Chain A
Amino acid sequence: MIERYNRRQRALVITLVIICVLLVTVYSREDKEGFLHRLQRFSMDVVSPLQKGMSKVLSPVKEGIEFLVDLGRARGERDRLREELKDLEERVHELEEMRRENETLKQMVAVKEANPELDYLVVEVIGANPDAWEQTVQIGAGYSDGLREYMAVLSEDGSLVGRIILCTSETSVVQLITDEKSAVGAKLQRNGEMGVLKGDGGGKTHLELLNQDADVQTGDVVITSGMGGTCPAGIPIGVVTEIGEMQADLSIGVFIQPRASMTRLEKVLVVVNPLPATLPMAAEGRN
């Protein structure tokens, strides 16, 4: 009995499978206007209004499912974007650093073009003097790089920063023009009145003019005079910001704001040619 039942079921499956194969064969061989194709088109026309209606009714459910799926994706996306943001921030910092370096190099090229008779060596500033009374910085080149004591040191934009006062084989110490012991031969660019630029140890400088009756005005540009033999002539130093009253020694205080920013030095230009001719004016005081 059971065997007969099983045989009947197998026969049924085989029959239905054969019908399916026949249907597939007929459908594949007939053209688009064949009976089975037309039957499909008719059925789809019948059911399409139902599908449209159901689509409207179920759209909130669909949106809910999509929201849940999106939520899962959003978490992964968030983590990926965070990583990407981190990478991009690093890239922006790198590019900013490169831009600044590019600006510096452009300024240095301009300085070289403005003074073609001078030869420079670009050196990195590697440290500042921790002693508050000494306005000096340390640079990353020394004797082995061709540097010598009393060589003039300029900022990236070609303004006077100071001069080398100590050289080792790999590093050098630069005395800034704001150092109290610094003295540089200077003159007013407008009328050539000569004087000596001295530091006051507090980040400022003042000019001691040789001629007490000299015509000096605020805004006058001060440049190196070349006197003393350490600094080549014509290097910009700064501008006159204040003119004080005459002192007991008949000198007048002419305060100069240095053009170079002494606290933001990263790279400097050392004038390696021509070599300093004589000792600086205040060199003996230091030694």
Chain B
Amino acid sequence: MTMFAAHRRLLLLTVITLTLLVQLTVAPELSVGSVRPDILLVATVCWALFHGPGRGTVFGFFGGLVEDIFSTAVLGVGAFGKTIIGYFAGELKHRVVSRSVAWPMCIVFVATVLHELLKFATWTMVGLEERPPFSFGIIAGMALYNALLTLVVYPILARVAASEEKAMLFQ
């Protein structure tokens, strides 16, 4: 393993750990009624938009997995949703040329809706009895909230991506 590959993995681990900490400690405090932001999902989409489908998938998988481990949810459901979202958001990397933050916001909005639908579909498939009642209002609220959080998360991850590019150039 080269130094650069090790650096990339360390960076991935750091970003996931920090995002997980924020998700576990800050997000519950920022919830409005039943609407709770999914910062890990926002980070997955933004990460995938900067680094493409491969790294987006890995980020989504590990981010979702640790989130599942640190919650009472069915283990694997979050990882499943975020893996798929990470891949498809990464596929958009070269298709979105605008540098405006409006695009990532729109993508996060749609990704949140898809992610929640995937969650409900998986719960139904595994026959989970105690699943929360489906509410499109809550999903729309979450999507809006996540889209707004993109305004904060996207510039931070843009800086991380820029520093990584710089490190690669030095090598």
Return the contact of B75 from the options A9, A24, A54 (Cβ within 8 A): A24
Q: B75 touching A17 by the CB < 8 A rule?
A: no
Q: B57 touching A61 by the CB < 8 A rule?
A: no
Q: B72 touching A23 by the CB < 8 A rule?
A: no
Q: Answer whether residue A126 sits at the interface, using C-beta atoms and an 8 A cutoff.
A: no
Mask, B3-28, CB within 8 Å of A = 1, is 00000000000000000010011101
How far does the alpha carbon of A16 sit from the alpha carbon of B76 in the complex, in Å? 10
Q: Answer whether residue A246 sits at the interface, using C-beta atoms and an 8 A cutoff.
A: no
Q: Answer whether residue A36 sits at the interface, using C-beta atoms and an 8 A cutoff.
A: yes
How far does the alpha carbon of A139 sit from the alpha carbon of B72 in the complex, in Å? 81
How far does the alpha carbon of A16 sit from the alpha carbon of B61 in the complex, in Å? 7
Size class of B's contact patch?
20 to 34
Mask, B75-91, CB within 8 Å of A = 1, is 11101100110010000
Interface residues of chain B: helix, strand, loop or mixed (majority): helix
How far does the alpha carbon of A25 sit from the alpha carbon of B128 in the complex, in Å? 11
Q: Answer whether residue A8 sits at the interface, using C-beta atoms and an 8 A cutoff.
A: yes
How far does the alpha carbon of A137 sit from the alpha carbon of B168 in the complex, in Å? 105
Q: A20 touching B29 by the CB < 8 A rule?
A: no
Q: CB-CB < 8 A to A44: which residues of B?
A: 70-72
Given that A8-B54, A9-B53, A25-B126 are known contacts, is A61 also in contact with B76, CB under 8 Å in the complex? no
A142 CB, nearest partner CB in chain B, Å: 66
How far does the alpha carbon of A54 sit from the alpha carbon of B30 in the complex, in Å? 11
Most buried by B among A22, A28, A66: A28
Q: Answer whether residue B151 sits at the interface, using C-beta atoms and an 8 A cutoff.
A: no
How far does the alpha carbon of A28 sit from the alpha carbon of B130 in the complex, in Å? 12
Q: Please list the residues of chain B having a beta carbon within 8 angstroms of any beta carbon in chain A.
A: 21, 24-26, 28-30, 32-33, 53-54, 57-58, 61, 64-65, 68-72, 74-77, 79-80, 83-84, 87, 122, 126-128
Could you jot down 13 A-B contacts, CB within 8 Å?
A: A8-B54, A12-B57, A13-B87, A17-B83, A20-B64, A20-B79, A24-B80, A25-B126, A28-B128, A40-B69, A40-B70, A50-B21, A55-B28
Q: Please list the residues of chain A having a beta carbon within 8 angstroms of any beta carbon in chain B.
A: 5, 8-9, 12-13, 16-17, 19-25, 27-28, 36, 39-40, 43-44, 47, 50-51, 53-55, 58-59, 61-62, 65-66, 69
Instruction: List 13 extra interface pairs beyond A55-B25, A62-B30, CB under 8 A.
Output: A13-B57, A13-B83, A20-B76, A20-B79, A21-B80, A24-B80, A27-B76, A28-B74, A39-B69, A40-B75, A44-B72, A53-B25, A62-B29
